[in-house]
A and B are shown apart, each in its own frame.
Chain A
Amino acid sequence: MSNSTILEPATKTAAAAQPLAGTSISGSQAVLEALLAEGVDTIFGYPGGAIMPIYDALYDYTDKLQHILVRHEQGGIHAGQGYARSSGRTGVVFATSGPGATNLVTGLADAMIDSTPLVCITGQVFAHLLGTDAFQETDVINITTPVTKWNYQVTDATEIPSVLAKAFYIAKTGRPGPVLIDITKNAQLQKFDYEGYTPCEHIRSYRPKPIVRKEYIAEAAKLINSAKKPFVIFGQGVILGQAEKEFKAFIEKGGFPAAWTIMGMSAIPTDHPLGVGMLGMHGNYAPNVLTNDCDVLIAIGMRFDDRVTGRLDKYAKQAQVVHLDIDPAEIDKNVKSAVPVWGDCKETLPMLTQLLEKNDHSAWLAKFRELEAEEIKEVITDELNPTTEILTMGEVIKTLNELTGGNAIIVTDVGQHQMVACRYAKYNNSKSNVTSGGLGTMGFGLPAAIGAKYGAPDTTVVAVIGDGGFQMTIQELGTIMQFGAAVKILILNNQFLGMVRQWQQLFHDKRYSFVNITSPDYITVAKGYGIEGKRIDQRADLKTALQTMLDHDGSYLLEVMVGKENNVFPMVPQGCSVSEIRLK
């Protein structure tokens, strides 16, 4: 990613330099001034009656703010998420009141559970109409309360600068999350004496950065140093805390095998010598099995989701758990820790590393490699080098790796292709895996990939999507058509809602109830949107087709027909312990 795209965040001195300070401006202008002061360069949005004053003001800001007109507000918010995930910055989304705002709900829930910083601005009816069932009035604040980190309704323009400052501060600090600001139309229109924009640096009821207690660092270090079979599991906290370097230094000094959750993926390169794969239901064999064999389990910036732990009362019972997290509500929520280390891992990891004895756990690491060999033999070889005539999802990803060298951002939708992509894709760079982890939102892939491209314009972005999920937000091809995001769309078409079909096969006696899904001719659809594409179903064409997709100047759609009834393995069946993971 190029550094030139990373703008300086707002500072106090920047506020002083604002030319409009001391003049009378509208609430709408104040919104846009706030975005500029926060270093925002891109907005994903869709206009409508109640947000028209903001769009009217935007007309004069198009040289400073890029607005991407999406095709559906859900697409807008997923694009905002993709942007945030690939850039590490806060995504900004505009929507109108009523249906515009309700269309954001899925994305808010997704961003909430995956800790993605967003500031969403919705228009609202005039304040005097609130509660009257006015045209396109919905109670957006109450609808979105459970799926926002913070939300607030503005009815007076004078509040706008300070409320937006709070919004950006809350979205980005501590455990990040989505914030929604609902602004009534009168406040957007209202003129007021603008005093400039002052970024928020403190809210007394909100303390995002815990003070680290050295005693706990010391205790954690003591426990870790005494471990014979230490095992590190890490999540997105490492990426959100920008602590990739600190994390690497930590595992390398201790010689700890380290496994990632789906959200932690790409924080270290996938081929790091201490990397032992992905945790969870469709994760790798070794890290799942050995979770129930390690003596000290060091959890970093992860939240023990049930897809990671499997059956909780049989999860790592033999181990002492050290849990590093910035969110105190996560500590002891699902798994009781022996030593809780509450803090920002950017701070806690170096403190811990300093107290570590340099170590080498090669015998223990070898155990992971042994089980990995078993997984390669039983699962991976067939998936990546199949003897079947029909292509597998795995070999598509493998070939993609060969061509991108692990330097692409891989965005996925939800389902089997997501698990396969996350299992087999290679990542060299942090923030290069963008997927809907906590909510598992089908339809996330295409719009998130568009956003990811704006967040990292110099990086190749490949969207790996199933034939089901693609049809959920297919309309965003229109956004690509109009604004030209060079997203590479890779549809893995198994002609089924594959993941659900797999469960029906394994757990419901193969009673395939409404998982057979038909597709339009995607190549023709793409063509209608001015996007070139190709469908292949032969192995011989795979490499060339992928190369053509990557080389193409602009967006390109490649549909690969894959095995209809292939399953993703290994698998921890629901209700089973992680060590009961099945290889077939």
Chain B
Amino acid sequence: MIKQEYTITVYTENQIGLLNRIAIMFSRRKINIESLNTSPSEVDSVHRFTIVINEVEDVVRKLVRQIEKQVEVLKAYYNTEDEIVWQEMALYKVPTDVIAEKVKVERLLHQYGAKAVVIRKDYTVFETTGHREELESLIKALEPYGLIEFVRSARVAIIKASKGFHEKLKEFEKQEPGEEVIENEYLDKQDEVFTM
């Protein structure tokens, strides 16, 4: 089995300490987290973690089950890149005089799908959103002009096949969840365990 990139989506309660509880499940297994984002989800009061790791599927599947077992985790999924729509965002700070003098800024921005968020006399901040390679190629382009600061956000991802969490949550709130979400679904299709 070969390692590949997996995006793990975890629906949780919004609880202090839960980030740590989830993060240490990776470090315990000496798995590096490539990117981690926490945010609200489509459902009020439900939180959503998006975690990217490089691992073999077997490890990911077991890890996701362990995550889902945590008391405050509602549901956890893992997906390969083709099963999700994802984006990352980056900010670049460059000296305004150099960049204005040496390049046609308009063309540069257009070429990389970037936009200027701040333009001051001393520096300019560009922003771009996309896949990692796109963000990185803009670094390359800006480096010659003295890139002062660079920062990239964690990945956010939407699962293509997902119908969202609204319906599922209703079931979770019942004392006895209905047949549809009896959470034995991985037993139906053992190979596609936590995909929706």
Q: What is the interface of chain A, defined by CB distance below 8 A to chain B? A: 141-142, 145-146, 149-153, 170, 201-207, 210-211, 213, 216, 327-329, 332-333, 340, 342
Q: Are B17 and A142 in contact (CB under 8 A)?
A: yes
Q: Chain A residues near B13 (CB, 8 Å)?
A: 205
A142 to B68, CA, bound (A): 19
Residue in A closest to B176 when the chains form the complex, CB atoms: A211
Q: List 5 other contacts, CB 8 Å, given A211-B179, A216-B184.
A: A153-B17, A202-B175, A204-B172, A213-B187, A340-B187
Q: Chain A residues near B190 (CB, 8 Å)?
A: 332, 340
Q: Are B20 and A145 in contact (CB under 8 A)?
A: yes
Against A, the Cβ 8 Å flags (1 = close, 0 = not) of B99-111 are 0000000000000
Q: Are B17 and A145 in contact (CB under 8 A)?
A: yes
A150 to B17, CA, bound (A): 10
Q: Are A342 and B184 in contact (CB under 8 A)?
A: yes
A213 to B20, CA, bound (A): 34
Instruction: Give residues of chain B (59-90) contacting chain A, Cβ–Cβ below 8 Å.
Output: 62, 65-66, 68-69, 71-74
Residue in A closest to B179 when the chains form the complex, CB atoms: A211
Q: Are B17 and A151 in contact (CB under 8 A)?
A: yes
Q: How far is the CB of A377 from chain B (nearest CB, A)?
A: 42
Q: Are B184 and A170 in contact (CB under 8 A)?
A: no
Residue in B closest to A328 when the chains form the complex, CB atoms: B65
Q: Are B69 and A327 in contact (CB under 8 A)?
A: yes
Instruction: Give residues of chain B (1-23) contacting chain A, Cβ–Cβ below 8 Å.
Output: 12-13, 16-17, 20-21
Indicate if B182 sits at the interface (CB-CB under 8 A): yes
In the A-B complex, the 8 residue pairs with the closest CB atoms: A329-B65, A211-B182, A204-B172, A150-B71, A205-B74, A206-B71, A204-B173, A329-B69
Q: Are A211 and B177 in contact (CB under 8 A)?
A: yes
Q: Are A146 and B66 in contact (CB under 8 A)?
A: no
Q: How far is the CB of B78 from chain A (nearest CB, A)?
A: 14
Q: How far is the CB of B125 from chain A (nearest CB, A)?
A: 33
A453 to B71, CA, bound (A): 32
Q: Chain A residues near B65 (CB, 8 Å)?
A: 328-329, 333
Indicate if B121 sits at the interface (CB-CB under 8 A): no
Q: Are A211 and B172 in contact (CB under 8 A)?
A: no
Residue in B closest to A205 when the chains form the complex, CB atoms: B74
Q: Chain B residues near A204 (CB, 8 Å)?
A: 74, 169, 172-173
A43 to B112, CA, bound (A): 66
Q: Are A145 and B21 in contact (CB under 8 A)?
A: yes
A216 to B172, CA, bound (A): 23
Q: Are B182 and A328 in contact (CB under 8 A)?
A: no
**Known A142-B20, A205-B13, A328-B69: A210·B186 in contact at CB below 8 Å:** no
Instruction: Give residues of chain B (156-188) contacting chain A, Cβ–Cβ below 8 Å.
Output: 169, 172-173, 175-177, 179, 182-184, 186-187
Q: Chain A residues near B186 (CB, 8 Å)?
A: 328
Indicate if B98 sits at the interface (CB-CB under 8 A): no
**Known A329-B62, A342-B187: A141·B17 in contact at CB below 8 Å:** yes
Indicate if B28 sits at the interface (CB-CB under 8 A): yes
A204 to B165, CA, bound (A): 13
Q: Chain A residues near B148 (CB, 8 Å)?
A: none
Other-chain contact of A203, B20, B71, B182 (Cβ < 8 Å): B71
Q: How far is the CB of B43 from chain A (nearest CB, A)?
A: 11
Q: How far is the CB of B185 from chain A (nearest CB, A)?
A: 10
Q: Are B62 and A205 in contact (CB under 8 A)?
A: no
Q: List 10 A-B contacts (CB under 8 A).
A: A141-B17, A150-B72, A207-B183, A211-B184, A213-B187, A328-B69, A329-B68, A333-B62, A342-B184, A342-B187
Residue in A closest to B46 when the chains form the complex, CB atoms: A205
Other-chain contact of B184, A202, A205, A213, A329 (Cβ < 8 Å): A213
A303 to B12, CA, bound (A): 27
Q: Chain B residues near A141 (CB, 8 Å)?
A: 17
Instruction: Give residues of chain B (119-176) contacting chain A, Cβ–Cβ below 8 Å.
Output: 169, 172-173, 175-176
Residue in B closest to A166 when the chains form the complex, CB atoms: B71
Q: Are B24 and A145 in contact (CB under 8 A)?
A: yes
Q: Are B71 and A329 in contact (CB under 8 A)?
A: no
Q: Chain A residues near B179 (CB, 8 Å)?
A: 211
Q: Chain A residues near B71 (CB, 8 Å)?
A: 149-150, 170, 203, 205-206
A442 to B173, CA, bound (A): 43
Q: How far is the CB of B27 from chain A (nearest CB, A)?
A: 10
**Known A210-B182, A211-B184, A213-B184: A205·B17 in contact at CB below 8 Å:** no
Q: How far is the CB of B103 from chain A (nearest CB, A)?
A: 48
A333 to B63, CA, bound (A): 10
Q: How far is the CB of A456 from chain B (nearest CB, A)?
A: 30
Residue in B closest to A209 when the chains form the complex, CB atoms: B176
Most A CB contacts (10 A, CB to CB) among B13, B21, B74, B177 go to B21
Q: Chain B residues near A216 (CB, 8 Å)?
A: 184, 187
Q: Chain B residues near A152 (CB, 8 Å)?
A: 17
